[in-house]
Amino acid sequence: MKAVNAAEDRQRIQWLRQELEEHNHRYYILDQPIISDIEFDALMRELQDLEARYPEWEDPNSPSKRVGGGVVKGFETVYHQWPMLSLSNTYSIEELREFFDRIEKALGHLPEMVCELKYDGVAVGLRYREGQFERAVTRGDGEKGDDISENIRTLGSVPLCLKEHSWPAYFEARGEVYLPRAGFDKINAERLEQGLEPFANPRNTASGSLKMQDSGAVAKRPLDIFIYSLHSDEPLPASHSEALEQARRWGFRVPPAQWICLSDRPDELMEFMARTEALRPQLPFDIDGVVIKVNNLDIRQKLGFTAKSPRWAVAYKFQAEQALTRLNEVVYQVGRTGAITPVAQLEPVLLAGTTVKRASLHNADQIEKLDLRVGDWVYVEKGGEIIPKVTGVELDRRPEHSQPLHYATHCPECGTALERNPGEAQHYCPNRLECPPQILGRLEHFVSRKAMDIEGLGGETLDLLVRTGKIHRPSDLYTLSPASFDGLERMGAKTISNLIDGIERSKSQPFERVLFALGIRHVGETVAKKLCAHFGSLQAIRQATQEELLDTEEIGTVIAESVRSFFADPEQQREVEALVRAGLHTEAVEKVREGNALEGLTLVVSGSFERYGRDEIKELIEKHGGKVASGVSAKTHAVVAGSDMGPAKRKKATDLGVPIWSEAELEAHLGLGAEQG
């Protein structure tokens, strides 16, 4: 009897899942619901009850998962199979003409173009396998992003199971997640009621929402999505407009309208632009321009990409919003590395929906270029950045007897005379070891997640430890004992022991993080990794000559000079010595050899891969005795090609008779295929 019931329940679960997805589609995509919210909720509750009874039939794509609830600690990094590039921006009809000229020159004619709105949100890639939602990834740095699948599942307009059956077995749909203005206003009204600071704008709120760790909280944010491209190794419709129509039939939310026009009539485009700009305030969501794209996908392929963006598309952005206000004062901020940033203090003014009181002035050159004076009426603009900038002065309103601005000569925090290196725009406070914001900034950087990752040591605790004289520089952290915290407020025994444990654990961080944590000017995470891979040890980096440093991949004179002067400074030497004594890693871990299958072979890696990042592929080759070269030549033994290997490289390899291996073929050479599945 029970078996019969179970079979019926199973059928009912399947029916409910399909039914609820269909209602979801009708509600979120078609905007034509046929049942009431109450009926929908009743079906959902029935499904949830059944699912609770049969955990063995759990399905990550069940509509019940849309309510969220899972809490993640961090987001997994995922490599993109097709790089996630950005668009080049244009702001004038001249730049737009140049874009068309370049296309015409490359093709000999002007192809059909599509115009779309440029939604102001967050780019995401949605991966589908066999018609089922598999993963959602943020753009990140274009090469790899964060896995935000749990959060994306809560968006009603993201289909979890696709309709029809004509989809490629594996593909990615990309689009923009945004927060409609009404939803944004509602969230802010609630925040105000709760005494919380309102959010700045819909875009940042959307982006912050997708990074929340509690998907249940994300489900409460009325986020939405527009899909603007499909990517697959399998065949797709021949043009962008057909691809989007296809995507619509599969159940995606695709923008309602696109305008197809011929690019030999930029006036038509201008008209489209003007109409869109007029429409802008009435749209229920924010846009920041229009996107103009070649429609035909073969033609796109012919045009190809630059390093950062496709040659077949361009964003034509609206002029940034501007406001005119008075400059009351210029103050100077001191950063962690001692870099000075001038900041304009303005008479508060309303700009793009927020009140602006401060604006960035970048550096002394910019102030001089603008001939900025206190009391001036200045133009403030808000572009893509969060901090507005001062872009010009209204000279007609300049007060009489105003005086040119004298840039700060001394550090506002410690009074030391500022310095400026030849060729650099920024001024610096050279008092690295005693200037308070630099002391604190250096410590904050040292303990931060991407550096030594010492949990529980937030800015406030560090500030307290610095103010009470317990620590002054990073190496002091390693001298702390439970007794050092005696008499400090808000520091219980448990907190203290967690802190000491965290500090102790940080000693196992690899050398590349230690190098990054030192806070050498211009040595970010990537540069630290490159230096570490090239030199292998702290000792070798310290002793490196300028020429040897310049030999490192991606390292130019400014970085090389900065590294040299850091290690030449006696104070820094003392600090580095103290860190070495504390037991931090100062040597790169030898790459463990895993085999000799590629001994003596030189391979070139090109494109992006399904199971590995490009660097991981290179590492894999090296671990098996192979060498990695950057360009294809007669000496290359094979090219390991990802999904989007450049046509030029492919041609060269074919011409030279160099074999091209897929990711799977490489694995087969290494005897890895089977286990990696």
Cα 133 from Cα 215, distance rounded (Å): 17
Location of structure tokens 């007897």: 401
Distances (CA, A) of 651 to 233, 250, 659, 662: 19, 36, 11, 16
The DSSP annotation for 283-308 comes to: SSS-EEEEEEEESBHHHHHHH-B-SS
Residue 172, beta-bridge partner list: 127, 231
Least separation in angstroms between residue 160's CB and ligand IVH is 22
Residue 379, phi then psi, degrees to nearest 5: -90, 130
Identify whether the C-beta of residue 325 lies closer than 8 Å to the C-beta of residue 380: yes
Q: Looking at 31-39, 84-92, 144-152, 664-672, which segment touches ligand IVH (CB under 6 A)?
A: 84-92
Q: Which is nearer to ligand IVH, 65 or 118 (CB)?
A: 118
Least separation in angstroms between residue 630's CB and ligand IVH is 24
Identify whether the C-beta of residue 229 lies closer than 8 Å to the C-beta of residue 240: yes
Q: Which is nearer to ligand IVH, 206 or 471 (CB)?
A: 206
Of 20, 87, 359, 372, the one binding ligand IVH (CB under 6 A) is: 87
Could you tell me how many residues of this chain bind ligand IVH (CB under 6 A)? 16
Of 85, 303, 331, 466, the one binding ligand IVH (CB under 6 A) is: 85
Identify whether the C-beta of residue 367 lies closer than 8 Å to the C-beta of residue 427: no
Q: Which is nearer to ligand IVH, 87 or 617 (CB)?
A: 87
| ∠ CA 18-20-24, rounded to 5° | 115
Site for ligand IVH in 267-296 (CB under 6 A): 291
Least separation in angstroms between residue 145's CB and ligand IVH is 11
Q: Is residue 142 within a helix (H) or strand (E), and if so which, with residue range? A: none
Q: Which is nearer to ligand IVH, 66 or 118 (CB)?
A: 118
23 binds ligand IVH, rule: CB under 6 A: no
Q: Which is nearer to ligand IVH, 118 or 513 (CB)?
A: 118
> How far does CA 77 lie from the centroid of its chain?
11
Order of strands across the sheet with 660-661? 627-629, 602-606, 638-641, 660-661
Residue nearest to ligand IVH (CB): 123
Least separation in angstroms between residue 593's CB and ligand IVH is 39
Q: Which is nearer to ligand IVH, 223 or 465 (CB)?
A: 223
Burial class (CB in 10 A: 0-12, 13-18, 19+), 528: buried
Q: Looking at 116-124, 375-383, 564-572, 576-584, which segment touches ligand IVH (CB under 6 A)?
A: 116-124
580 binds ligand IVH, rule: CB under 6 A: no
Least separation in angstroms between residue 116's CB and ligand IVH is 4
Q: Which is nearer to ligand IVH, 117 or 632 (CB)?
A: 117
Q: Looking at 83-91, 163-171, 632-640, 660-668, which segment touches ligand IVH (CB under 6 A)?
A: 83-91
Q: Looking at 80-88, 107-115, 511-519, 603-611, which segment touches ligand IVH (CB under 6 A)?
A: 80-88
494 catalytic, yes or no? no
Q: Which is nearer to ligand IVH, 230 or 465 (CB)?
A: 230
Q: Which is nearer to ligand IVH, 118 or 427 (CB)?
A: 118
Least separation in angstroms between residue 601's CB and ligand IVH is 35
The DSSP annotation for 202-230 comes to: HHHHHHHHHT-SBHHHHHTS--EEEEEEE
253 binds ligand IVH, rule: CB under 6 A: no
Of 118, 240, 336, 534, the one binding ligand IVH (CB under 6 A) is: 118
Identify whether the C-beta of residue 418 lies closer than 8 Å to the C-beta of residue 429: yes
Contacts of 67 (CB under 8 A, 6+ apart): 154, 216, 219
Site for ligand IVH in 437-496 (CB under 6 A): none
Can you list the alpha helix ranges (DSSP code H) found in 149-214? 149-152, 181-193, 202-210
Contacts of 169 (CB under 8 A, 6+ apart): 129, 130, 234
Of 14, 18, 77, 86, the one binding ligand IVH (CB under 6 A) is: 86
Cα 62 from Cα 60, distance rounded (Å): 6
**The token pair that represents 671 in the structure block:** 């005897």
- The active-site residue, picked from 65, 105, 118, 317, is 118
**Site map (CB under 6 A) of ligand IVH, residues 160-199, x = contact:** ----------------x-----------------------
Cα 584 from Cα 198, distance rounded (Å): 43
Q: Which is nearer to ligand IVH, 145 or 474 (CB)?
A: 145
Q: How many residues does the chain have?
A: 677
Q: Which is nearer to ligand IVH, 116 or 376 (CB)?
A: 116
Distances (CA, A) of 346 to 324, 368, 382: 10, 18, 14
**The token pair that represents 261 in the structure block:** 């026009």
Q: Which is nearer to ligand IVH, 244 or 439 (CB)?
A: 244
Residue 346: Cβ within 10 Å count: 22
Least separation in angstroms between residue 175's CB and ligand IVH is 8
Q: Looking at 61-69, 81-89, 483-491, 654-662, which segment touches ligand IVH (CB under 6 A)?
A: 81-89
Identify whether the C-beta of residue 104 lies closer than 8 Å to the C-beta of residue 95: no
Q: Looking at 112-120, 365-373, 466-474, 664-672, which segment touches ligand IVH (CB under 6 A)?
A: 112-120
Least separation in angstroms between residue 275's CB and ligand IVH is 16
Q: Looking at 35-43, 152-160, 306-314, 429-437, which segment touches ligand IVH (CB under 6 A)?
A: 306-314
Sign of CA dihedral 323, 324, 326, 331: positive
80 binds ligand IVH, rule: CB under 6 A: no
Nearest CA to 264 among 117, 116, 111, 88?
A: 111
119 binds ligand IVH, rule: CB under 6 A: yes
Cα 67 from Cα 219, distance rounded (Å): 6
Burial class (CB in 10 A: 0-12, 13-18, 19+), 160: buried
Largest pairwise CA distance in the chain: 97
Identify whether the C-beta of residue 620 lies closer than 8 Å to the C-beta of residue 640: no
116 binds ligand IVH, rule: CB under 6 A: yes
Site for ligand IVH in 519-578 (CB under 6 A): none
297 binds ligand IVH, rule: CB under 6 A: no
**Site map (CB under 6 A) of ligand IVH, residues 308-347, x = contact:** -xx--x-x--------------------------------
**Site map (CB under 6 A) of ligand IVH, residues 38-77, x = contact:** ----------------------------------------
Residues contributing to the site for ligand IVH (CB under 6 A): 85-87, 116, 118-119, 123, 139, 176, 228-229, 291, 309-310, 313, 315
Catalytic residue positions? 118
